[in-house]
Amino acid sequence: MTSLEISLSKEIISDHFGPIVEKVCTILISKDRLLISQIVNLTKLTRRQVEEALFILIQQNIVKYAEKPRTPLNYYSVDINEVLMRIHFPLFIHTLKEIFGTDGEEIAKLLLLHGRLSLTKLLTYVEDKESIKNTFCSMVATGFIIAVRPEDSISMIDKLLAEEDIEVSKLGASLKANDVNRIRVSLAVRAENEYDNNVATGMKRKAISNYDEYPSKNVYNSVSDIDENIISRLNYNKLLVHCRNKSVINLVKERLTPSAAELMKEILKIYTEDFNDCKRNSVAGPFSSAQLTYKISDIKLKIDYSKGGGSKNPIVDYLETYRLDSVKFLTKDADRGNGDYYINFKEINNYMKIDLIGNSIKEKYGKNSMRLWKILLDKGKFDEKQIAKVALVSHVEARKCLFELLNAGYTYLQEIPKTIDRNTMRSTFLWYTDMNKVEEQLISECYKVLINLKKRRKIEIEKLSKLIEKSERDDVKKDKNLLSEAEIFALEELKKIINRIDISEIGIGKMLLILKEY
């Protein structure tokens, strides 16, 4: 957890819940697990204020808690990933609107506003109850809504500690020094498989731990299947999978053709339907051209065969085009019959990261700097003269660009001493770049931009706070003539500024998805 993540989390909580909740959350982030009495002492708030703040944070899935052994006390801790995921809420709402229409958008807004809701409670906030019920059922069936289980409010650390105590107590007097390490390793491996918050529950049937064992969607397409009293929330991981698929489709459309993008959309729809996590589900397939031809029959692919070439089967030709493209949309396993194809999302995401970082460098430092950085990434270590020659730029220009990138954290220097005394005057310095460090650098810059945007929004709103209060009065809402032309103009300008800030935040959020989540 970096200082920038803590600062950004503080701004997000303050923006969404106000100063009291932000104070409690900040203490929990900085001090980790605390008892409620410790939070009261550190924040100097009343116990009632702390309890209400914790209630809000637990309701919003941000705070986890666990009972202290053999006492009625609870430890509280913050899941910072839940806080940072709030950056992507506008994108999640837009995604669900695209899939499920306005009903999906309304359900998403309510679930994100309240953190978690039962269907019974959710229906009290809407007018068209029947339509919302059907859409809610579809969202549960497709995994976009999951049930909130009691164990979801317990942090992973507390789950592992509880299980470790049980395993240690089983060994008793025969416990050895290396047994504890062995237990911890086995529990960590098991946690990856068992503690999955993406279980698609919420129906009147036994919950299944393995998502792949679920029946087909049409089993759930009845409103009577839903237990309306089960508490539910949005499944962020499923939404991230859909956002990743959309990014891949847009990349195919950009590099190839709209028809190629349509085919990729159908492939992803078929072979990533059961995906629940971008990190775990990084490969889709295998599939063959014959299987796709059988499954996809209603899509029209446009290829011009008038000049000859090709296999006369558009699907086969498009699959080969995906494979041969520099992005490597598909990889082929030639050992299996005519060859099965796989979608390797890691390769695609790596290309998107390089393209994103390259464009960022180009905007800030120019084309030459981007070219030099990509050469270092592709070829490895170079001295100044070599890289200037390869990049076809002057030695002076190369030196200037490389030092700009060094100061920004995009390039690094490696000293190669020629003598035993390691005299710098007789040493060679090679330039290189490290993709992981560059990613971290760009993520840090994104966090800084988001922090500044949120601060700017606060300042702009505070400037016109009295005017905003006046515009929200009932009499002013009924009669706009109570506002002068200057006041109306000031409010319109504020809306434009806030709108630009919102658009900037969404753009930075998309960059973070590529750098962190895909």
pLDDT for res 198: 47
* Reported pTM: 0.84
- Does 9 share its domain with 51? yes
pLDDT for res 197: 46
How far CA 466 is from CA of 209, 342, 382, 460, 489, in Å, comes to 53, 59, 60, 12, 15
- Does 205 share its domain with 95? yes
Q: What share of the chain is helix, strand, coil (3-state, %, to 5)?
A: 65, 10, 25
- Does 165 share its domain with 301? no
Domain extent at residue 54: 3-78
Q: How confident is the model at residue 493 (pLDDT cuts 50, 70, 90)?
A: very high
| Residue 393 resides in a domain | yes
- Does 226 share its domain with 98? yes
| Residue 438 resides in a domain | no
| Residue 360 resides in a domain | no
Mean pLDDT calculated for residue range 41-65: 92
* Domains of the chain: total: 6
| Residue 354 resides in a domain | no
CATH (domain of 30): 1.10.10.10
| Residue 211 resides in a domain | yes
User: Where are the strands (E) in 418-456, listed by range?
Assistant: 427-432
Q: Would you state the structure tokens that stand for residue 81, as one six-digit string? A: 């990933």
- Does 227 share its domain with 246? no
Rounded to an integer, what distance in angstroms lies between the CA atom of residue 436 and that of residue 49? 42
Tell me, rounded to whole angstroms, the distance of Cα 50 from its chain centroid. Answer: 30
| Residue 20 resides in a domain | yes
CATH (domain of 117): 1.10.10
- Does 410 share its domain with 450? no
Look at 230-234, 295-299, 385-389, 439-443 and tell me which has the smallest mean pLDDT.
295-299
How far CA 420 is from CA of 148, 427, 431, in Å, comes to 64, 10, 22
- Does 100 share its domain with 228? yes
- Does 109 share its domain with 174? no
- Does 297 share its domain with 342? yes
- Does 246 share its domain with 332? yes
- Does 219 share its domain with 157? no
Look at 332-336, 358-362, 470-474 and tell me which has the smallest mean pLDDT.
332-336
- Dihedral angle, C-alpha 381, 386, 388, 390, nearest 10 °: -90
Mean pLDDT calculated for residue range 35-55: 92
| Residue 67 resides in a domain | yes
Selected residue with higher pLDDT from 424 and 133: 133
Mean pLDDT calculated for residue range 311-336: 80
**pLDDT tens, position by position, 144-183:** 999 888 777 777 777 776 776 676 676 665 666 676 677 7
**pLDDT tens, position by position, 362-404:** 999 999 999 999 999 998 888 888 898 888 889 899 999 999 9
Mean pLDDT calculated for residue range 185-198: 59
Task: Reduce the DSSP state of residue 14 to 3 states and report it.
Answer: helix
